[in-house]
């Protein structure tokens, strides 16, 4: 059976230095997140500003994360692109680097119907030897419906989905088509605010930005749930909502970048110069977010 995603996985943020990924800081982030108990890492993610990366930068980030991870946890490499050929090339590069699996969102920028999207995923999955995790992210690309997901789940190389839609009804339909008991396909929530609820509904875990910023908290929610301590898991989920809401209040992904900085991992200048208004909002949020993060970390000690 192929590896499938499960547990708590971080959608990794990317540090930048002089316009390039800062590999030294990236290695420190890898070690921090693994030490905190994460199940796996997902570099070249949406929150990691994959949209700003060229092909070589995507490859280099994956290579660095795989090398630094050194087999301690699986690495699910993002292979986002506007063309199937580029996604396949990135998947092959990820395989050569030693990645455990790949994560593919629908092609961005242009719009397609469900049948075309299904064809794209099948084509990429059939061209690679790694397990492939679907990525439903309507914020950036055409949405995947439950019927398409169920159809794609039959492909031997397609092993799961990261559903970042925030659509509880849509996720329930996916879970109905692909239940937790299906050992070959995993449904993972991509929304941290919905983590506990998704676990109750049958999801096998989460892949989120908050798992990178606060891995200790997200792992604790999962561990408590797995131990049957559902009330404590739910209480921690509710306690974490203010931090999650604060990070989501800034233009994506700036709030999560601020959170990483407050955890001691500055991510460098934004790739797009920010307005004075946005800079002020970041400054205004910094104190209260730091206070909430400190309080939350104290709560789980």
5-22 per-position pLDDT tens digit: 999 999 999 999 999 999
Q: Which of 14-23, 159-168, 180-189 has the lowest mean pLDDT?
A: 180-189
Catalytic residue, chosen from 58, 162, 220, 281, is 162
| pLDDT at residue 251 greater than cutoff 80 | yes
The helix/strand/coil state of 269 is: coil
Q: Give pLDDT tens digits for 99-111.
A: 999 999 999 888 9
162 is catalytic: yes
CB 94 within 8 A of CB 133: no
Question: What is the mean pLDDT of the segment spanning 187-209?
Answer: 97
Of these residues, 52, 110, 135, 234, which one is catalytic? 135
CA distance to 145, 151, 161, 224, 263, per residue, from 173 (Å): 9, 13, 13, 26, 37
Cross-strand bridge partners of residue 101: 76
Cα 42 to Cα 294: distance, rounded to the nearest angstrom: 25
Contact between 74 and 40 under an 8 Å Cβ cutoff? The reply is: yes
Mean pLDDT of 264-283: 95
Q: Residue 144: its pLDDT value, please?
A: 95
pLDDT in tens, 208-249: 999 999 999 999 999 999 999 999 999 999 999 999 999 999
């Amino acid at each position: 059976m192929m590896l499938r995603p499960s547990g708590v996985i971080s959608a990794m943020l990317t540090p930048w230095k002089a316009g390039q990924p800062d590999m030294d800081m990236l290695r420190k982030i890898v070690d921090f997140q693994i030490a905190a108990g994460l199940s796996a890492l997902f570099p070249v993610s949406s929150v990691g500003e994959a949209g700003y990366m060229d092909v070589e930068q995507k490859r280099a980030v994956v290579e660095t994360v795989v090398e630094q991870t050194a087999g301690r946890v699986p690495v699910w490499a993002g292979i986002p692109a506007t063309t199937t050929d580029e996604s396949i090339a990135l998947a092959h590069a990820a395989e050569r680097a030693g990645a455990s699996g790949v994560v593919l969102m629908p092609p961005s920028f242009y719009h397609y119907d469900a049948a075309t999207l299904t064809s794209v995923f099948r084509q990429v999955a059939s061209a690679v030897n790694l397990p492939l995790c679907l990525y439903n992210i309507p914020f950036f690309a055409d949405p995947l419906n439950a019927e398409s997901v169920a159809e794609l789940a039959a492909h031997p190389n397609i092993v799961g989905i990261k559903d970042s839609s925030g659509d509880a009804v849509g996720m329930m339909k996916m879970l109905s088509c692909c239940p937790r008991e299906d050992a070959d396909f995993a449904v993972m929530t991509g929304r941290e605010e919905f983590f506990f609820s998704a676990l109750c509904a049958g999801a096998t875990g989460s892949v989120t930005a908050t798992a990178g910023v606060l891995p200790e908290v997200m792992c604790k929610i999962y561990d408590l749930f797995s131990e049957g301590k559902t009330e404590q898991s739910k209480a921690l989920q509710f306690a974490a909502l203010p931090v999650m809401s604060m990070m989501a209040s800034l233009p994506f992904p700036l709030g999560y970048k601020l959170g990483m900085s407050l955890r001691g991992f500055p991510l460098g200048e934004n790739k797009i110069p920010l307005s004075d208004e946005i800079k002020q909002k970041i400054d205004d949020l910094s104190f209260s977010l730091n206070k909430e993060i400190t309080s939350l970390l104290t709560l789980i000690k």
